[in-house]
Amino acid sequence: MAEEDYGTANFRPANRGNKLKARMAEPSTRATYKYSIMHPRLIDEQTKIEKIGKKRAITRKQRHGSHADDDLGEDSPYSGISIDEIWAPIESPEDVKNIKPHVRTLRSRQLKIMGHTLMETIETETAKNQPLVRLVDALQMDDPLLQDLDLGDMGVPSEVQREFRDVVQDCVNCNFEFLRQISMVRSKLMVAHDKKKVLAKLLVPFEPKK
């Protein structure tokens, strides 16, 4: 296609995955084409959803009043693409090594890194929780170093002491529950990492360096 067919380069349909390449080559399209940013002719391509194995794929129907997908020629970005082959389910575990995204997932260390990050979070939150625990012990007269502490002698009413003690105790309980939940998440992450590591050794082992 010549430059004069489209005017300035800014308005050429050179991108968008070359979807308009074949359409713009048609005489009927060129005859009605105007030099504007938006193409005046609506794309009459329709799509349909096909079930391939257990997955659903969006594929193209034959264009209205035009050629079938097989007749688009080598210039079409869709020629030579087999949707069935791309979306076909894995038939055997040995096929995993031929699919790069699956190989990268099995060899990835992200779960282990997330486990280490959660461990650091647990240690940090535990350290932050220690002063609250000591404060609760002191308010309940359970701290051996602060047995003589009596807020009543400082003029704090008993009702205020009780309310303050309950609030601090709730904070400590919430922190302990958070630590328990995040510890469970970390444990499950590490189990998933260990199982994935076993699968990686069986299906996509690293080749020894020569």
**Does residue 19 sit within a domain?**
no
**Which of 89, 119, 150 is the C-terminal boundary of a domain?**
89
Specify if 25 maps to a domain.
Answer: no
Considering 33, 65, 89, which residue would you say is the last residue of a domain? Answer: 89
Residues 148 and 175 in one domain: yes
List Cα–Cα distances, 104 to 91, 116, 117, 137, 210, in angstroms. 19, 20, 21, 50, 22
Q: Is the pLDDT of residue 3 over 50?
A: no
pTM metric for this prediction: 0.52
Residue pair 29/23 in contact by the 8 Å Cβ criterion: yes
How many residues are given for the chain?
210
199 lies in the same domain as 111: yes
Compute the distance between CA of residue 122 and CA of residue 25 in angstroms, rounded to an integer: 63
Residue 34 has a pLDDT of 46
- pLDDT recorded at residue 17: 45
One domain, residues 69 and 152:
no
Mean pLDDT of 130-140: 82
| 63 in a structural domain | yes
**Per the structure, how many domains does the chain have?**
2
Average pLDDT over residues 66-70: 48
Which of 41-45, 138-142, 167-171 comes out lowest in average pLDDT? 41-45
- Could you read off the pLDDT of 95-127 as tens digits, one per residue? 888 888 888 999 999 999 999 999 999 999 999
Q: Please report whether residue 55 resides in a domain.
A: yes
The reply to whether 156 falls in a domain is yes
Residue 173 lies in a domain: yes
**Average per-residue pLDDT for the chain:** 73
Average pLDDT on 15-41 reads: 50
Which among 96, 123, 92 has a CA at the least distance from the CA of 107? 96
Query: What pLDDT was estimated at residue 11?
Result: 44
What is the predicted pLDDT for the residue at 38? 43
Helix or strand (DSSP H, E) at 50: strand 47-52
Q: Does one domain contain both 110 and 84?
A: no
- The residues with which 57 forms a beta bridge, in sequence order, are 50
| pLDDT for residue 20 | 53
Q: What is the mean pLDDT of residues 125-132?
A: 90
User: What local confidence, expressed as pLDDT, does residue 133 receive?
Assistant: 86
**SS3 of 88, please?**
coil
Most confident of 7-11, 55-59, 104-108, 185-189: 185-189
Residue recorded with tokens 């220690």: 130
Distance CA 156, CA 25 (A): 88
Residue 137 has pLDDT above 50, yes or no: yes
Question: Collapsing DSSP states into helix, strand and coil, what is residue 139?
Answer: helix
What is the Cα–Cα distance from 49 to 51, expressed in whole angstroms?
Answer: 7
Q: Do residue 127 and residue 150 come from a single domain?
A: yes
- Percent of the chain past pLDDT 70, that is, above it, reads 55
User: Considering 28, 57, 89, which residue would you say is the last residue of a domain?
Assistant: 89
Judge if 115 and 149 occupy the same domain.
yes
Averaged pLDDT for residues 160-188: 90
Pair (132, 196) in one structural domain = yes
Q: What is the pLDDT of residue 168?
A: 85
Give the range of the structural domain holding residue 125, as residue numbers without chain letter. Answer: 104-203
Q: Which of 7-16, 66-75, 109-118 has the lowest mean pLDDT?
A: 7-16
96/91 Cα distance (integer angstroms):
9
CA 62 to chain centroid, in Å, comes to 34
Q: Are residues 112 and 199 in the same domain?
A: yes
Q: Is the same domain home to 138 and 85? A: no
Say which residues have a Cβ less than 8 Å from residue 8's Cβ, sequence separation at least 6: 35
